[in-house]
Structure 1
Amino acid sequence: MLMRNLTLFRFSPAVADDLSRLDEALAEHRLRPCGPLEMFTKGFVPPVGRGPDAPLTHAVQAYTLFTVGGEDKLLPAAVVNAELQRKVQKIAEEEGRKVGGRERKRIKEDLLTELLPRAFVRESRMSAYVDRKNGWVVLDTSSRKSAENALSQVREALGSFPAVPLAPEQGPRVLMTDWLANGNLPAGLALGDECELRDPATATGAVAITRRQDLDAEEVKEHLRNGKAVFRLGLTFDDRISFVLGEDLSIRKLKFLDVVTDELGDSHGDAAAEADASFALLTLELERLLAKLEEWFGLPRPADA
């Protein structure tokens, strides 16, 4: 179980204490199948194993893994509108009258009632974990909106979950631009092979995106001399993890390098043991990386009220 993208939030020590009841709280919000007339359902699914009695959390030391699930009916608006138009046209031809707005609305509602039970269902899953010791919420997505939606599910289950977005004391754009322009990278950090540069003064300014390129190249330096700033930067940490860091401190394209994956070995005998080993390795490596992000950018943990 290795995550690919990370969106991060923080919480206080008091919130960490409240998370001891997470498994019990999630049990009342288990994902159920979409009903015939429902467009979607949201809830929690077992992060390890399957079945109606499988636990909804998986804990290793101070880390607790959970998975937010969803079912969405696929009923494209174009399909509904085409069928609506067909019915409206049929009424006009057979009864010789126009269909008013109120009647169109009623016909559309009847169509949804007719079509929803036959619509395909799309499943979604998002893994996440809480680090109670250091106060991190780590969600496997690069979308802030998706992360916020997942946290809303946790808040609904717990009644309250005041996890907050990162509030860096050091501006990520300024710091990453300095790393790229002047080579002032912290110890253990090295440039990767991609970046996104933009003119920070305007929302519609020129954008330069480089991939699979030496970031020390003169072409990249010229963009920086022309006033562009770093909005995303490919990096490698301790020759163990590669990733692309965004100016919002989201992490994309997270990859554990061979020296890390080799530590997992080939097999651990059964699915539960393999899940434990994988999750333990993930959290150990990310604990080190997140501690450095906290140091480099100044990411204070919220204090208790």
Structure 2
Amino acid sequence: MFRNLSLFRFSAAVSRDLERLPEALADHRLRPCGPGEMGTRGFVPPVGRTAEDALHRRLQDRQFLVVGTETKLLPAGVINDELARKVQKISDEEGRPVGGRERKRLKEDVLNELLPRAFVQQSRMGAYVDTAQGWLVIDTASRKAAEELLSQVREALGSFPAVPLAPEEGPRVLMTDWLAGGNLPSGFALGDECELRDPATATGARWKGRAEDLSSEEVREHLRNGKQVFQLGLVFADRLSFVLGEDLVIRKLKLLDVCMDTLDTDNNDAVGEFDAMNTLLAGEVGALLARLADVFSIPRPADADVADAGIETRKAA
């Protein structure tokens, strides 16, 4: 279940190129960390955990994938303690101080000794591409993590010119107007959470409200004092609740009861459960994204816009 949505867009030409995605992922499966590696990243099955499970799941016009990571856990305190022990031993046995260059070499030795014995932490990040409407949807609110997944897809395909959203209408200005005047676009209603900031101050004075009446006098007073909306809780079509940021990242996404009541719960296997949940999710999110694209005037890139991006370029063998 996706909880946060970082969004990118791509053209119809890129959609056609994505038909080869299932085959492209095969050579980029996650492999275990080697003894001397701090971490690895690669694709893992959206459903299942074995090496035989598919790295890709297609549901209508959406293709689902998951990037997994393995990261060695070596706390800085553990490294520093072991390094201090080695430095003290040299000082005691040889009666001399340890210089900076030697300390650096000793630290590298410590890392090499500890890495093979370090615990491995695993994580997964889901995403899907909507080839009909040109959306890449990534389950994270972190721009850095989203870019890392996008880079992983680009590495597999050789090229994937998906671009950040480029709204023609300023999200912060529009959301501030919605909150101040109560004139929300059709289909949207206020939730109970927002973050207001004063963009004119260096410190970025802010007010956060959760489980609040956003039409209250307190909120209006903050707006009169010059604060603007940086995050706003919204409800869409009485089916989805979420918090929309001025960066158009969707956080705290939740399917509401009227939506969940339509979910087919008669699935007795993981594949059926995955398909039912994500078909419902992607359909509801698709309707939301279409509405957001209209409200904020978010264009889908034209084929000409990515002609120079080299979608036919392939990675060298």
Is 1:23 matched with 2:16?
Answer: no
Q: Show structure 1 runs of 4+ deviating over 2 A.
A: none
Taking structure 1 as reference, are residues 159 and 98 closer, same or farther at Cα in structure 2, changes over 3 Å only? same
Is 1:116 matched with 2:151?
Answer: no
Distance 2:182 2:13 in 1: 40
Is 1:242 matched with 2:241?
Answer: yes
Distance 1:28 1:205 in 2: 46
Identity of matched residues, %: 68
Q: Specify the SS of the correspondent of 2:173.
A: helix
Q: Specify the SS of the correspondent of 2:183.
A: coil
Give the structure 2 partner of residue 303 of structure 1.
Answer: 302
Give the structure 2 partner of residue 32 of structure 1.
Answer: 31
Q: Which runs of 5+ in 1 are unaligned?
A: none
Give the structure 1 partner of residue 315 of structure 2.
Answer: none
Decide whether the 8 Å contact of 2:28 with 2:42 is kept in 1: yes
Q: Which runs of 5+ in 2 are unaligned?
A: 305-317
Amino acid at match of 2:219: V
Q: What's the RMSD between the two structures over aligned residues?
A: 0.9
Give the structure 2 partner of residue 67 of structure 1.
Answer: 66
Give the structure 1 partner of residue 158 of structure 2.
Answer: 159
Shift of 1:278: 1.1
Give the structure 1 partner of residue 174 of structure 2.
Answer: 175
Give the structure 1 partner of residue 49 of structure 2.
Answer: 50
Shift of 1:106: 1.7
**Corresponding residue pairs, total:** 304
Q: Specify the SS of the correspondent of 1:263.
A: coil
Shift of 1:252: 0.5
Give the structure 1 partner of residue 308 of structure 2.
Answer: none
Decide whether the 8 Å contact of 2:7 with 2:138 is kept in 1: yes
Distance 1:205 1:20 in 2: 45
Shift of 1:204: 1.1
Shift of 1:99: 1.4
Distance 1:48 1:203 in 2: 47
Larger deviation, residues 203-212 vs 68-77: 203-212
**Deviation digits for residues 143-168 of structure 1, max 9, x if unmatched?**
01100011000011111011100001
Shift of 1:77: 1.6
Amino acid at match of 1:197: L
Give the structure 1 partner of residue 223 of structure 2.
Answer: 224
Give the structure 1 partner of residue 310 of structure 2.
Answer: none
Is 1:130 matched with 2:129?
Answer: yes
Question: How high is the TM-score relative to the length of structure 2?
Answer: 0.94
Distance 1:269 1:75 in 2: 40
Q: Specify the SS of the correspondent of 1:167.
A: coil
Give the structure 2 partner of residue 88 of structure 1.
Answer: 87
Shift of 1:267: 2.4
Distance 2:202 2:68 in 1: 35
Distance 1:265 1:164 in 2: 34
Amino acid at match of 2:226: G
